[in-house]
Amino acid sequence: MKSVYTIALSLLVVLSTPFLINRIVCPEKPLPVQERIPNDWFFNQRAYPYEQINHKAFLQALQTATRQQTRLTSRESVWEFAGPTNIEGRITDIELLPGDPQTIFLGSAQGGVFKSTDAGNNWTPILDNAGSLSIGDIAISQSDPSIIYVGTGEANAGGGSLAYDGTGIYKSTDQGQSWQFTGLEDGGSIGRMVVDPTNPDIVYVAAMGHLFADNNQCGIFKTTDGGTTWQQKLFISDSTGAIDVVINPQNPNIIYAAMWERVRRPNRRSYGGETSGIYKSTDGGENWTELSNGLPTTAADKGRIGIDISNSNPEVLYAIYADRTGYFKGIYKTTNGGSSWTQKDNGIDDNAYASYGWWFGRIKADPVNSNIAYVIGFFPYKTTNGGNQWYSIGNWDMHVDQHAMAINPNNNSIIYIGNDGGFYSSSNGGTTWGWSAQLPITQFYSCEVEEQNPHRIYGGAQDNGINRTPSGSLDDWEEIYGGDGLRIVIDPQNNNYIYAESQRGNLGRSSDGGESFESATSGISYNSRFNWNAPIALDPQNPKTVYFGAQYLYKSTNHADYWTSISGDLTNGNQPGNLTFNTLTTISVSPLNSNLIYTGSDDGNVWFTANGGTNWTKISDNLPNRWITSVVADPTIENRVYVTISGYRWDEYIPHVLRSDDNGTNWVDISTNLPESPVNEIVIDPVTPNYLYVATDMGVYYSDNNGDSWYPAGNGMPIIVVNDLRLHNPSRTLIAATYGRGMYKLDLDILTNLNSVTASKKPIIHYYPNPFSDKIYISFDEELENAEINIINIQGITVANVFSGNIEKNQTLTWNGNNNSGNRQPPGVYFVILTESGKVSSKKIVIR
């Protein structure tokens, strides 16, 4: 949970930082380059040089990835979830099972659907094979609770998941144990769905359509046969979708729909207009009438709208309006089924929406008391007297940016809320809140691990800073650097030096292992342009030398204490285009020759220097004009380099992974059978010849023949965007940063064949008793040569050397809990670090 200080700081940032405030957005005015926001980065990377993503190409890539994933067998390697469970992400919907409110279904922005049978204490993912893990809404049948519908595609017009529309509607007839696709694959994103309370085959879907392109598959859709067929029942225009829909529980022929005129392009947006409004049907959606008596009527006053109906008195409905810009406009109530409305928002100011109301747009009516309702906005608000007075609840008890709420109909003091920070619950009507730290839905941009301590994994997370686990556990991750967490790099020779980055080149340096950070931008020119996710790299031969990318390449020879430019502009210049920042995105220094340096940029440029930056050569003329995601110098062949590329095809095939054996003079496409989707990172195995690993928007793939063919790298991870990879060679572990399901790791000794010359099996070691109070015994089932065993504490400091030398088969060693000076170590978590023939393994132990 965020501390009071952190939340206050977040509020200050929201209220003062231009890229988070929609006041910068005039409907007809282009967005300045420097004010583009993180979700633009995520979309632009995949769309460039076009203004939208080819949705058909995306679906085809998903089909390819799904087919390849199903061919894996149990003999393949298995991904292990590495956390965190105590740092969550955005929740988009919460639904309680009718008749059993202890069972909760939850939708997340990019992590899929989860189910809890114990009121949110434990969660299980139940829809990982939908292709899209971006969830818009969940609807459960009241008359047959075994039937559940899920609409994919988050309708909130922001956040990293906006790059991809949903893949349609999915249905379960066994409470989520199995699923089948039921259509509307072109509906874009789903605002809400409702099931007829008397007939589980009748469902209404509020579809927003595609975000970055106008299309006709938006509005209200209806099925009367459980999803076999769908009919469009309310269509306003190709730029106006349905964001909300509710049904009268006593007369299910009465439907209310909130329509939202929304236009989004890479360089502009309009989040409201004349065609936004509330519509009512009294004949099951056959005919509709716009409601206007007492509601906002001018285009400037009609932005995103949320609506809800009182189950205890269906004549009572509440509606909440944002204006066209995103400021809070008002709350409106009807007591006669929508014939007339009265504004009811005393006690609420614009803090309810913090100027970006297009990000929220929900209002919730209590299921048993029509006088109780809740605003789901930047902060939550509550009324207990029918809207005559509202007051804020939980401001400092929870993360900001609320999106979903569920109320226990058997006890309306029990409330669940979902926001950008996860799942919260209250047992006293919202007076106080608790946080459930169990959902693995963190959206990571990057991953890193300490070379000496493989249990210490780091990652940069969307809206959650740079985080790390000191112990390798799932639930002890902690933030060490704020903002949107992006790149994180650790000196492999001296892990006291850590470089952490937040948005747009805000770089910090730590010289005490991450305990504190100072700004590390001294020497950077004021006119430097930085990508949202600016690149940083260390010289593998001399990690005191650090490189940092703007439009220029900067170099520091003193741990980022001071920077000097070593290049001219390595991009196309500060162009007025809509899809690029004209900045560097990737840097690679050859592990074999520090003078060989490569850079890539978001406008399709790759440059190379053979003399440490004195002269530069552009080597991308024969590459596709796409966003360059990574350039990596081979660790074993000096002149070999790899490039990975983002984007989707339109009319022509585009390669996504290429190799050059002559420093980029000539390129060879090695994408072969990879799904035709963005590739975000490539890692070359430094010890197993011809093994390559790539992070793609369809998961992680590997090749054992230098790109002649590719295979999914193991079971256990859903098909999901993977932004970054890190190979920790001493422990032969591959770490993957997913954008929506946290961090995973994979044992490469399994993947790369244990019988290979360069990979040896890990020794079998026994530790007992563990935990211990007197001493711990460490025994070995085989001989080990040149072994060293050290004990480190949770801060990564070596406290004791247990053994150095050769170990005999069945030999047993002991550690009595003392450090090298003979002083007893305090109770707590420690790690046994075994280094043997260049390989490292670790084991967590506990002193009682």
CB 380 within 8 A of CB 374: yes
CB 553 within 8 A of CB 565: yes
**C-alpha to C-alpha distance for 566 and 559, rounded to whole angstroms:** 16
Mean pLDDT within 176-188: 94
Sheet holding 812-815, edge to edge: 765-768, 776-780, 812-815
pLDDT of residue 165: 86
Largest CA distance in the chain: 87
> Over 70: is that where the pLDDT of 396 sits?
yes
Each residue's pLDDT tens digit, 655-687: 999 999 999 999 999 999 999 999 999 999 998
> Over 90: is that where the pLDDT of 184 sits?
yes
Looking at every residue in the chain, the average pLDDT score rounds to 90
Of 223-227, 584-588, 642-646, 810-814, the poorest mean pLDDT is in 810-814
Mean pLDDT within 803-821: 93
Of 29-43, 255-269, 425-439, 498-512, the poorest mean pLDDT is in 29-43
CB 259 within 8 A of CB 245: no
Mean pLDDT within 467-481: 95
> Over 80: is that where the pLDDT of 643 sits?
yes
Each residue's pLDDT tens digit, 563-609: 999 999 999 998 766 678 899 999 999 999 999 999 999 999 999 99
> Over 80: is that where the pLDDT of 30 sits?
no
Beta strands 328-334 and 342-343 are: antiparallel
Q: By C-alpha distance, which of 464, 417, 481 is closest to 87?
A: 464
CB 120 within 8 A of CB 432: no
Of 318-327, 642-651, 789-798, the poorest mean pLDDT is in 789-798
> Over 80: is that where the pLDDT of 25 sits?
no
> Over 80: is that where the pLDDT of 27 sits?
no
CA atoms within 13 A on the CB side of 740: 30
pLDDT of residue 11: 37
Encode burial over 677-695: b for 16+ CB neighbours within 10 A, e otherwise.
bbbbbbbbbebbeebbbbb
**C-alpha to C-alpha distance for 631 and 629, rounded to whole angstroms:** 7
> Over 90: is that where the pLDDT of 1 sits?
no
Each residue's pLDDT tens digit, 226-263: 999 999 999 999 999 999 999 999 999 999 999 999 98
Residues 444-488+514-751, CATH architecture: 7 Propeller (2.130)
**CA distance between the termini of the chain:** 28
pLDDT of residue 762: 62
> Over 50: is that where the pLDDT of 265 sits?
yes
- Cα distances from 119 to residues 406, 409, 427, 458, in angstroms, run 12, 14, 11, 31
H/E run at residue 305? strand 305-309
CB 631 within 8 A of CB 599: yes
DSSP SS3 for 22? helix
CB 232 within 8 A of CB 220: yes
**C-alpha to C-alpha distance for 723 and 710, rounded to whole angstroms:** 18
Mean pLDDT within 193-197: 98
The residues near 397 (Cβ < 8 Å, ≥ 6 apart) are 424, 432, 433
- Residue 290: count of CB within 10 angstroms of its CB: 14
pLDDT of residue 283: 98
pLDDT of residue 16: 32
pLDDT of residue 131: 82
Model confidence at 161, in pLDDT bands (50, 70, 90)? low
**Unique residue bearing structure tokens 């969830």:** 135
11 vs 284: which has the higher pLDDT? 284
| CATH fold for the domain made of 765-847 | Immunoglobulin-like (2.60.40)
pLDDT of residue 84: 97
Most confident of 571-585, 690-704, 763-777: 690-704
> Over 80: is that where the pLDDT of 821 sits?
yes
The torsion of the CA quartet 793, 794, 796, 798, rounded to 10 degrees, works out to 0
pLDDT of residue 212: 81
Q: By C-alpha distance, which of 136, 94, 142, 87 is closest to 114?
A: 94
- Token pair in block for residue 244: 């909300």
CB 299 within 8 A of CB 273: yes
513 vs 165: which has the higher pLDDT? 513
- Token pair in block for residue 410: 């058997």
> Domain residue spans in the chain?
444-488+514-751, 765-847
pLDDT of residue 70: 83
**C-alpha to C-alpha distance for 143 and 133, rounded to whole angstroms:** 27
Residue 834, φ and ψ in degrees, nearest 5: -105, 120
618 vs 844: which has the higher pLDDT? 618
pLDDT of residue 159: 57
pLDDT of residue 365: 98
> Over 80: is that where the pLDDT of 555 sits?
yes
pLDDT of residue 445: 95
Of 443-452, 727-736, 753-762, the poorest mean pLDDT is in 753-762
Of 471-475, 540-544, 573-577, the poorest mean pLDDT is in 573-577
Model confidence at 483, in pLDDT bands (50, 70, 90)? confident
Percentage of the chain surpassing pLDDT 90? 76
Mean pLDDT within 768-796: 89
pLDDT of residue 340: 98
> Over 50: is that where the pLDDT of 724 sits?
yes
User: pTM for this one?
Assistant: 0.89
pLDDT of residue 761: 55
pLDDT of residue 75: 55
The torsion of the CA quartet 323, 325, 326, 327, rounded to 10 degrees, works out to -70
DSSP SS3 for 642? strand
